[in-house]
Structure 1
């Protein structure tokens, strides 16, 4: 066999090198991150490895593509309109601001902008956990117009995270009330618990609530909060240090279930 070409591509942020016939048909691909050459035909092993020779870095596994897991098959069967995984942090606010921008004559900043900043900051912090075996969904819609800001699924379990803009303000938490600066206290912890309860019902698994404060000048808890973690955006990486309760296959299965819009239609 001769004339094989190596074509680099990117899929989901990962580089793959495809080995192709002159007519464009694929015969194999090399996944650098997994250090694996996937062969569509065992008969072509030697020719494929010769073509990939200049690109291989260190030892690699060579063999047929791995069989898709049930979670991967569920993802492949999901209609793009029903897949929540592509949602950006603050997706619902981004759409709302695009449809109805703030009036130019407003004397005060649009509060949606502060809320969006909070969700984007928290979302970016959670997305950085991906390399540690976590998946995060953003702006998960719930019936009645509500939504979960963020749902994190990883070895330590499932967490609903509510982002709160607290830039340069002192925060006092007196369960269930949360006070920002000189504003009126709000029963925010009640809302976060309710979101976690709805997520637990939808996913038939324990989901723990987290309140994430973005940029507070100070934080004071008057007493331990019942079942709710109160963290700053810079502390969210601590979730990855909690003890493991889910196996990788469980994380993938729960993520496949949670990313389906229909999962949330009856909560």
Structure 2
């Protein structure tokens, strides 16, 4: 018997099966998503494949771990405090509500919770695109206290999304003004285009703006907004079905740049 054992684990949202020696050191790992067995030493090849045999599915590649790409190396050297990738949808609002929940006797719901539900709903839809070669970043901070709700990076390009709570309300768009129900109109499209311009400057790439509506009852657009797409939260998957303009390596490089907090300090 080789004494090797298989230990499941999750790294960066992906399942891996580690093959461990009796002393606890790793001999190899199997990445289910890529179908690759990464060997740390050729001497263990046969024993590793034997212990992994019950877990292997489909075509499997066996070999040494791939050399890290420049994007992967950048991620590995990024300080945890500067890494925006772990941000949850609505991260800034979640922190604000933890610090100041507000009085418990409010007659009306805290508007921050309404906005949070919109960002969580839209962010959840974007996170579900991760397995299709896309990356979503949430609550990207900008100088001056402003922030980008969501940044989506994938084969079809880059998108800045502003999540707008519109649950069971009528939405009227008259560029640049957006009116939800009986609320006062706001120049959201002007702000959204400005965010896209700042993101384009920071990432040196074209970034397109998207207004993402969370649960609208009805939408009226008086004229097609200049350069801005308006989508319901259930229609966001359509962004992934657009024609590809970025190669996988470009997507990873842009994601590595965007997740670094320092990238946004100069916009």
Q: TM-score, normalised by structure 1?
A: 0.97
1:169 aligns with 2:169: yes
Task: Report the count of equivalent residues.
Answer: 267
Per-residue deviation at 1:28? 1.1
Give the whole-Å Cα distance in 1 for the aligned partners of 2:90 and 2:37.
38
Q: Shift of the alpha carbon at 1:37? A: 1.1
Matched, 1:104 2:104: yes
Segments of 5+ residues of structure 2 without an aligned counterpart are none
Tell me the CA shift for residue 179 of structure 1: 1.1
CA distance in 2, matches of 1:86, 1:193: 25
1:104 Cα shift?
1.2
- Aligned CA-pair RMSD: 1.2
**2:115 aligned partner:** 115
Residues 8-157 of structure 1: pairs in structure 2 closer than 5 A: 8-157=8-157
Supply the distance in 1 between the matched residues of 2:201 and 2:114 (Cα, whole angstroms): 30
Stretches of structure 1 that go unaligned for 5 or more consecutive residues are none
Structure 2: distance between partners of 1:210 and 1:126: 12
Per-residue deviation, 1:15: 2.2
Q: Which digits, 9 at most, give the CA deviation of each residue in 1:215-251, with x for residues without a partner? A: 1110011011000001111111110111111111100
Rounded to whole Å, the distance in 2 between the matches of 1:131 and 1:141 is 25
2:232 is aligned to 232
Structure 2: how far apart are the matches of 1:9 and 1:235? 33
- Tell me the residue number matched to 1:259: 259
Q: For 2:59 and 2:235, locate their aligned partners in 1 and report how far apart those are by CA, in whole Å.
A: 38
Instruction: Give the secondary-structure state (helix, strand or coil) at the position aligned to 2:198.
Output: helix
Matches within 5 A, 1:136-215: 136-215=136-215
